[in-house]
């Protein structure tokens, strides 16, 4: 059975679609789980009910987002086999056990303690409840660790041999897990998740401050989020730069495509904007800064930077796409750092809670983390084409022997279902966010919200073991 070109494209698009839809949820829940742990920790330490209210506010939203992350994640764990069976057979012995560890150390931990975190405060008391919240947060980080190790191994394979059946088999687990690009990718992605969450929390805080600048919950949210923007966004810029330099070392073709470089040259310019044309092998209408490209990439004014023409045409990633996704991501990174500085200045002048233009900017920046995460992943994943396992196994050789109609039917089903279901979920989340954090939620307005615990503030105050205030 031969795989025709159409089925391969459809399978690629299906994976791109399902994984893009999925990454949005963990990018948010990794950060939000840690944020919830911090909020509950502050509440337990200070006894300040304001933090518990903010905790309950975000816990409800976390439950909805996490539910969507779970169901879209189950899909991913089967997509390898349904659409990429040859890849699964060949790479299974190396990456399978890493995924196995993700399930055992992360998914069970998250889901096992999630129920207690969402519904169990009164049943188990604050101490154990805080422990459950911590376990959920730790679980999300373990999950990121393993899945990013898998992805990094596919980008920079190490510690493997190839057996007589043509499978990749492990020869050194340490080298497999801590493969060359993993530490950079891990730091870059976890910081991205934290920033994504910070900007969502900041936007919600800002939105409510615009209506009522005395709202205590909104103040807590906005202040904490802007501290994160100030401190983490610059670190992320540095981490991203280091990740880029590591990519240059292991995947120079990807970097050439990101930069729109077709010619190999010494003293290469930095192309700020332009239109890469992969057919004509030239970046049109380029606005460039001479020599800066070499300086950034090689830390040498006249360093040599490889262009895409150094690789045969069928081994080049498409520059036209990732040139732009990369720039959008970087621009958002700088904008985040900028907002952090602006907020710090407002804070210094005592105007953090009343600076309306700052709040408006923060609202606009609310979804920017998701866009940056998606653009970053498109850059790194499209940039490693035409390989699934870099330099070793091509995407075309990885796919299942499926016929195009089977793949297109399932693709259409995924698109319809995801847009309907996750569209509804997004609507519910926005509606939850529209409620001011301090006020008690008007239950009749949105339905019986026992769902994910809007009430525990009261329950805990009455509870036998709750801290007295």
Residues 159-218 that bind other proteins (CB under 8 A): 163, 165, 167, 169-171, 173
Among 46, 111, 439, 469, binds other proteins (CB under 8 A): 111
386 prior amide bond cis, ω within 30:
yes
Report the candidate in 49, 24, 10, 83 with the shortest Cα–Cα distance to residue 398.
83
CA 101 to chain centre: 20
CB of 240 to other proteins, least distance (A): 30
CB of 425 to other proteins, least distance (A): 6
Interactions with other proteins, residue window 51-80 (CB under 8 A)? 63-64, 66-68, 70-75, 77-78, 80
- 446 sits near other proteins (criterion: CB under 8 A): yes
> Whose Cβ is closer to other proteins: residue 57's or residue 66's?
66
CB of 99 to other proteins, least distance (A): 5
Put residue 24 in one of left, alpha, beta given phi > 0 → left and psi -120 to 50 → alpha. alpha
- 20 sits near other proteins (criterion: CB under 8 A): no
Distance separating alpha carbons of residues 376 and 430, to the nearest angstrom: 25
Stretch that binds other proteins, among 187-195, 273-281, 329-337, 403-411 (CB under 8 A): 403-411
Among 47, 127, 290, 401, binds other proteins (CB under 8 A): 401
Among 432, 433, 435, 437, binds other proteins (CB under 8 A): 432
CB 143 within 8 A of CB 110: yes
5, exposed or middle or buried, with CB in 10 Å at 0-12, 13-18, 19+? exposed
Among 116, 189, 220, 343, binds other proteins (CB under 8 A): 116
Size of residue set near other proteins by CB under 8 A: 85
Distance separating alpha carbons of residues 257 and 321, to the nearest angstrom: 9
Q: What is the length of the chain?
A: 469
The position carrying tokens 């990807």 is 254
Distance separating alpha carbons of residues 150 and 168, to the nearest angstrom: 13
- 86 sits near other proteins (criterion: CB under 8 A): yes
> Whose Cβ is closer to other proteins: residue 242's or residue 403's?
403
CA 383 to chain centre: 17
Among 428, 441, 457, 467, binds other proteins (CB under 8 A): 428
CB 265 within 8 A of CB 227: no
> Whose Cβ is closer to other proteins: residue 174's or residue 357's?
174
Interactions with other proteins, residue window 262-321 (CB under 8 A)? none
Distance separating alpha carbons of residues 250 and 49, to the nearest angstrom: 50
- 465 sits near other proteins (criterion: CB under 8 A): no
């Amino acid at each position: 059975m031969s795989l025709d070109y159409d089925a391969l494209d459809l399978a690629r698009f299906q994976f791109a679609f399902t994984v893009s839809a999925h990454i949005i949820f963990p990018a948010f829940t990794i950060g939000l789980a840690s944020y919830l742990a911090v909020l509950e920790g502050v509440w337990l330490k200070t006894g300040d009910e304001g933090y518990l209210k903010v905790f309950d506010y975000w816990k409800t939203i976390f439950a909805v987002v996490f539910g969507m992350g779970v169901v879209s994640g189950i899909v991913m764990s089967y997509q390898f086999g349904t659409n990429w069976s040859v890849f699964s057979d060949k790479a299974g012995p190396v990456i399978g056990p890493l995924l196995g560890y993700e399930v055992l150390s992360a998914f069970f931990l998250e889901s096992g303690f999630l129920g207690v975190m969402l519904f169990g405060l009164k049943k188990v008391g604050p101490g154990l409840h805080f422990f459950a919240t911590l376990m959920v947060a730790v679980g999300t980080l373990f999950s990121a660790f393993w899945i990013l190790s898998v992805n990094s191994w596919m980008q920079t394979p190490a510690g493997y041999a190839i057996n007589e059946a043509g499978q990749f088999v492990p020869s050194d687990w340490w080298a497999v897990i801590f493969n060359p690009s993993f530490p950079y990718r891990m730091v870059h992605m976890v910081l991205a998740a934290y920033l994504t969450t910070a900007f969502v929390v900041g936007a919600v805080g800002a939105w409510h401050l615009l209506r009522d600048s005395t709202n205590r919950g909104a103040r807590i949210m906005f202040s904490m989020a802007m501290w994160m923007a100030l401190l983490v966004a610059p670190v992320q810029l540095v981490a991203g730069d280091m990740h880029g330099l590591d990519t240059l070392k292991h995947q120079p073709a990807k970097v050439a495509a990101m930069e729109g470089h077709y010619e190999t040259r010494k003293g290469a310019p930095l192309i700020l904007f332009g239109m890469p044309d992969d057919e004509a092998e030239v970046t049109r209408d380029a606005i460039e800064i001479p020599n800066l490209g070499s300086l950034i990439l090689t830390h040498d004014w006249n360093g040599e930077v490889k262009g895409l023409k150094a690789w045969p045409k069928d081994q080049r990633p498409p520059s036209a796409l990732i040139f732009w996704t990369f720039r959008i991501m970087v621009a958002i990174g700088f904008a985040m750092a900028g907002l952090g500085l602006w907020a710090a200045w407002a804070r210094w002048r005592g105007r953090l809670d009343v600076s309306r233009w700052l709040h408006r900017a923060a609202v606009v920046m609310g979804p920017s983390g998701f866009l940056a995460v998606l653009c970053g992943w498109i850059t790194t994943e499209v940039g490693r084409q035409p390989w699934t396992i870099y330099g070793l196994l091509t995407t075309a050789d990885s796919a299942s022997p499926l016929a195009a109609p089977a793949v297109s039917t399932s693709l259409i089903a995924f698109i319809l279902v995801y847009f309907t279901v996750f569209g509804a979920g997004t609507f519910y989340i926005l509606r939850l966010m529209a409620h001011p954090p301090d006020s008690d939620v008007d239950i009749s307005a949105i339905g019986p919200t026992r769902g994910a615990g809007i009430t525990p503030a009261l329950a805990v105050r009455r509870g036998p073991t709750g801290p007295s205030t």
